[in-house]
């Protein structure tokens, strides 16, 4: 019987705009070897709607009757767990499946698993296929792929690249075919994928909502019509969808005969080399996409325009060099690289076909007349540029640790006169020091001077490799790379009875548990070991977890007055880079003037944290107590939302509280409350100069936190301090 959908999918042809996304999906439907599509875009841009609609366009497939792995009867997979399949076996025709992988899926759900309990107690090798088996010869859709655990993404992309899925567990090996069109969607505000994972997606598209009112009106009009009558709306677009489906099928049949001329292959290599992409995967993807484009447009050879369009979709996400950079591609640079491509080494040589056979060369490289896809607005973001001084220095000292902290600075006589910086260096005029003035009076005067001078913006120093700061104890949070935790991955530290289905077996512990009961079970000496379900033990593994790293940053005038804010921003950027690499969530609390604000609510997007930090103004008094109070409130709220994710509070300040009637005392009392609540903390001491009050060290003691001078936040800073100490000792 024909398959029926209770609610018809939104028609692919009815989607308004998003031309790049639709083209990328159609090209992968023509040639799944391209490697899938990564869709990056803001929320509410119909990413999921378009992907789900694509499944309805894919040609129907013949599958072996009764095969849970969707084997093709014309060429069944030789190692299929449901095989071997004989020639001429009964087949059924079905639609290509759209399988969705939820963010919370486990490894067993993705690749399938053996039922170890049945295998050990009943002797039955029962294997349950996972989502990869269901997606074979169809579409595997991963929404919010950037939130998926790293080991699952690795398994997913390995299967997509090899066309096979493997289950290796407890001495048993199972494999099956897993060839599918992989589509991942993500909102960059919630965190980026690692660059090496970005590279595994064939094409990437940036989407955003249309800005033209007429286009937005049409989107809403069609959506309302679909919701009012899904079947009627789908019927009105059925012919257009059928035409697209037929075009996909025709392009698939034409693809093996399409020729890639040597001139265009040279152009592809030149463009990829010009943009300095890593490896050769980019070259292969651009070539495959260009071949699919030619087949889609009904041509037998690839043109320069095909290469141009393929490169525009295949290269942006491969140019990401810094974790704080957004994937982007300058179209003028692409045009220049395409036009400057050298001629092929052998002008008289042959071309390459989609299936690898030699073909006829098109030496002209000219693009023929064809239907042009309307190019949508990519909505590109530009990543912030760091301050690259290249001296390995973080806090304004020299590369050997020497500098302003080795002698007088803004706290004493210096180039700008007593107690002040040079005129014009910080946006405020120098101020003479009054006779008998206390340090606290100087702090208040400096902060007031910077408040009247207006908000200051300091350029961040270059981020460096940061020291590892970890939460004490062993947690049970989401897998990551920061603090010790009990996880599904890691080294085995013990065994326990399973609380549910047995996912992994600790063989030695299972045998020990069963050995004590063998006499009672009537085991004959020399006979087989008698096992029951109660004997089974699973391993307890200890690995690493990700944490919430909440930064509480002093942005008051005292920080700007001593020209420390650039170094402070560089230090926090270094810690943000470390949080990115360790899969942490991050948040940012800033305090200045009379209050504190949550500048960045806890998020997985360290890019957002870096952007907020770079734009952070300074000036005004130092409401340290307000900053700690806002941090404490943020941690309480986040603990309710995500109770298993432990927090690390990083307070970046010189400790010189000046706002309120008892600023230091109030800050210390709040610190006592945080310590009593078990909050793990680090205090980064930004105090510098000859006269030091040690208030940040006192704050660290009350918090029960590690006290770290600003210069020692990074490994480079520690090395500089060691060199300085050795020089002074000599």
What is the secondary structure of 534-571 as a DSSP string?
GG--EEEEEEEE--EEEEEEE-SHHHHHTT-HHHHHHH
Q: What is the rounded distance in angstroms from the CA atom of residue 415 to the CA atom of residue 423?
A: 10
Burial of residue 111 (number of CB atoms within 10 Å: 0-12, 13-18, 19+): buried
Whether 301 contacts 375, CB under 8 Å: no
Active-site entry in 95, 169, 281, 481: 281
Please, what sign has the CA dihedral across residues 183, 189, 191, 194?
positive
Encoded tokens for 508 = 């030695």
Q: What is the rounded distance in angstroms from the CA atom of residue 123 to the CA atom of residue 608?
A: 53
User: What residue spans of 3-149 are helical by DSSP H?
Assistant: 19-30, 47-55, 107-111, 116-121, 131-134
As beta bridge partners, residue 456 has 618
Task: Give, in order, the Cα–Cα distances in Å from 254 to each of 181, 214, 259, 304.
Answer: 19, 38, 11, 19
Q: What is the rounded distance in angstroms from the CA atom of residue 658 to the CA atom of residue 561?
A: 14
Encoded tokens for 219 = 């989107």
- Those residues with Cβ within 8 angstroms of residue 428's Cβ, 6 or more apart along the chain or in another chain: 449, 450, 452, 453, 561
What is the secondary structure of 126-160 as a DSSP string?
-EE--HHHHTTTSEEEEETGGGS-HHHHHHHHHHH
Encoded tokens for 653 = 């300040």
Q: Identify which of 22, 41, 54 has the alpha carbon closest to the alpha carbon of residue 144.
A: 41
User: Could you count the other beta carbons within 10 Å of the beta carbon of residue 509?
Assistant: 20
Look at residue 238 and give its three-state secondary structure.
helix
Q: Are strands 585-592 and 164-169 parallel, antiparallel or unpaired?
A: unpaired
Tell me, yes or no, if 281 is annotated catalytic.
yes
Encoded tokens for 94 = 């079905």
Q: Which residues have a catalytic role annotated?
A: 281
């Amino acid at each position: 019987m024909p398959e029926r959908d209770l609610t018809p999918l939104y028609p692919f042809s009815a989607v308004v705009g998003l031309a790049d996304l639709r083209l990328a999906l159609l090209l992968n439907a023509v040639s799944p070897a391209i490697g899938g599509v990564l869709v990056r875009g803001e929320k509410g841009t119909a990413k999921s709607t378009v992907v789900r609609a694509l499944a309805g366009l894919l040609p129907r497939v013949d599958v072996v009757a009764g095969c849970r792995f969707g084997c093709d009867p014309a060429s069944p997979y030789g190692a299929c767990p449901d095989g071997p399949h004989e020639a001429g076996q009964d087949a059924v025709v079905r639609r290509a499946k759209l399988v969705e992988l939820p963010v919370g899926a486990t490894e067993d759900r993705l690749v399938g698993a053996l039922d170890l309990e049945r295998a050990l107690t009943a002797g039955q090798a029962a294997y349950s296929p996972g989502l990869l088996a269901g997606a074979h010869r169809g579409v595997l859709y991963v929404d919010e792929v950037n939130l998926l655990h790293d080991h699952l993404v690795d398994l997913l992309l390995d299967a997509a690249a090899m066309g096979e899925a493997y289950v290796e567990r407890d001495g048993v090996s199972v494999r099956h075919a897993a060839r599918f069109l992989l589509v991942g969607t993500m909102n960059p505000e919630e965190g980026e994928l690692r660059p090496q994972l970005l590279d595994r997606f064939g094409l990437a598209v940036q989407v955003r909502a249309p800005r033209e009112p007429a286009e937005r009106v049409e989107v809403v009009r069609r959506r309302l019509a679909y919701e009012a009558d899904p079947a009627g709306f789908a019927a009105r677009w059925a012919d257009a969808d059928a035409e697209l489906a037929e075009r996909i099928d025709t392009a698939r049949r034409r693809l093996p005969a399409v020729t890639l001329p040597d001139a265009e292959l040279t152009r592809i290599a030149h463009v990829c080399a010009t943009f300095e992409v890593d490896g050769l995967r980019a070259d292969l993807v651009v070539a495959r996409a260009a071949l699919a484009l030619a087949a889609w447009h009904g041509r037998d050879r690839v043109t320069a325009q095909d290469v141009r369009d393929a490169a525009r979709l295949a290269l942006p996400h491969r140019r990401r060099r810094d974790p704080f950079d957004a994937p982007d591609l300058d179209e003028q640079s692409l045009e220049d690289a395409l036009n400057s491509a050298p001629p092929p080494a052998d002008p008289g040589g042959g071309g390459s076909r989609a299936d690898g056979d030699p073909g006829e060369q098109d030496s002209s490289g000219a693009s023929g007349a064809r239907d042009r896809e309307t190019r949508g607005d990519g909505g590109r973001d530009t990543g912030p540029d760091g301050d690259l001084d290249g001296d390995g220095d973080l806090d304004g000292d020299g590369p050997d640790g020497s500098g302003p902290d080795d002698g007088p600075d803004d706290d004493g006589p210096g180039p700008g006169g007593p107690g002040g910086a040079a005129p014009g260096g910080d946006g405020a005029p120098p101020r003479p020091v009054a006779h008998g003035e206390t340090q606290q009076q100087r702090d208040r005067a400096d902060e007031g001077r910077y408040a009247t001078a207006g908000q200051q913006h300091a350029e961040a120093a270059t981020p460096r490799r940061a020291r590892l700061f970890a939460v004490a104890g062993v947690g049970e949070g989401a897998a990551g790379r920061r603090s010790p935790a009990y996880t599904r991955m890691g080294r085995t530290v013990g065994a326990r009875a399973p609380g549910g289905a047995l996912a992994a077996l600790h063989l030695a512990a299972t045998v020990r548990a069963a050995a004590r009961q063998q006499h009672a079970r009537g085991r004959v000496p020399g006979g087989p070991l008698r096992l029951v379900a109660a004997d089974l033990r699973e391993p307890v593994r200890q690995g690493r977890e990700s944490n919430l790293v909440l930064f509480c940053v002093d942005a008051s005038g005292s920080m700007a007055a001593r020209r420390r804010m650039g170094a402070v921003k560089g230090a926090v950027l270094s810690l943000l880079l470390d949080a990115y690499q360790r899969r942490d969530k991050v948040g940012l609390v800033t305090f200045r003037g009379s209050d504190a604000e949550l500048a960045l609510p806890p998020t997985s997007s360290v890019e957002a944290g870096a952007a907020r930090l770079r734009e952070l103004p300074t000036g005004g008094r130092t409401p340290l107590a307000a900053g700690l109070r806002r941090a404490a409130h943020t941690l309480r709220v986040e603990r309710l939302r995500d109770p298993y994710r432990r927090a690390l509070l990083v307070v970046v300040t010189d400790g010189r509280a000046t706002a309120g009637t008892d600023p230091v005392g109030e800050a210390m009392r709040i610190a006592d409350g945080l310590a009593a609540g078990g909050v793990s903390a680090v205090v980064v001491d930004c105090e510098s100069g000859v006269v030091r009050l040690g208030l940040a060290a006192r704050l660290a003691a009350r918090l029960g936190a590690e006290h770290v001078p600003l210069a020692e936040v990074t490994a480079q800073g520690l090395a500089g301090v060691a060199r300085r100490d050795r020089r002074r000792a000599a």
